[in-house]
Amino acid sequence: MQVRDMFELGGQVALITGGSRGLGLQMAEALGEMGCRVVITARKADELAQAQRHLQERGIEAMTVVTDLQRAESIAPLVDETLAACGKIDILVNNAGATWGAPAEDYPDEAWHKVMNLNINAPFFLAREVGKRCMIERKRGKIINVASVAGLKASPGPMQTIAYNTSKAAAIHFTRALAAEWGKYGINVNAICPGFFPSKMSAGLLDQLGESVIERTPLHRLGDDDDLKGAVVFLASAASRHITGQYLAVDGGASVV
């Protein structure tokens, strides 16, 4: 196989959760540019419609499904709708996520459950559904979980995001455990661990800590609108066919210092 051909994704279908903006939209754009038909899902119909226009203007075939992944009962219908329109799911990107800042001693029950439901429960339930219905029988598939460098270490005191850190550490080990189980089916399961990227979720923290984050990062920059594209294409493509159960930190080197 030619190296260029290893990265081609023509004819494949990618389902990206949290795909209406930020990192999810960036990854949908990358997969679409490499030939995927992309299906993006999120809670807000207006944001999905805007994202769909953005993708279509770039020549990317894009479908949207409004889904609240906090509700476990919404997961099977999401897969139903995707399969009815596309016939298969080759690539699943579990990107949707949430965070909540509060001191551990005062952390609200509601906040803990919200973060855990979206960051770890939903990826498992969706992967289970897609695996059973789209990948196991075909003996192929790519699952990419978007974890975080926050799952690799504790955060500085001002961040106070104990549920987020815990859920992202769980996402990394969920990736390993699922890869170990589903390798026999030819399914690759890997994770991307982004560092700080400007986004709606990180805006408040970056207002407070942005300069210090950049100062502590070896490459002295934040992630931008292109910095996840290569990583997600690599993990979605045949170029990574012998890689599973791994995480790739995309953080400018922040996690190594």
- d(CA 33, CA 195) in angstroms, rounded, equals 24
Whether 107 is a known active-site residue: answer no
- d(CA 92, CA 114) in angstroms, rounded, equals 22
Three-state DSSP class for residue 171: helix
**What integer is the mean pLDDT of 186-214?**
78
Confidence check: pLDDT of 203 > 60? no
Q: 207-245, pLDDT tens digit by residue? A: 556 577 888 899 999 999 999 999 999 999 999 999 999
The overall average pLDDT reported for the chain is: 94
Three-state DSSP class for residue 41: strand
How far from 185 is each of 44, 59, 188, CA to CA, in Å? 35, 33, 9
pLDDT of residue 193: 98
For residue 62, give the amino acid letter: A
Fold type of domain 3-250: Rossmann fold (3.40.50)
pLDDT of residue 167: 98
pTM value is: 0.95
Q: Are 170 and 120 in contact (CB under 8 A)?
A: yes
How far from 22 is each of 1, 27, 51, 109, CA to CA, in Å? 33, 9, 10, 27
How far from 16 is each of 30, 79, 146, CA to CA, in Å? 11, 12, 10
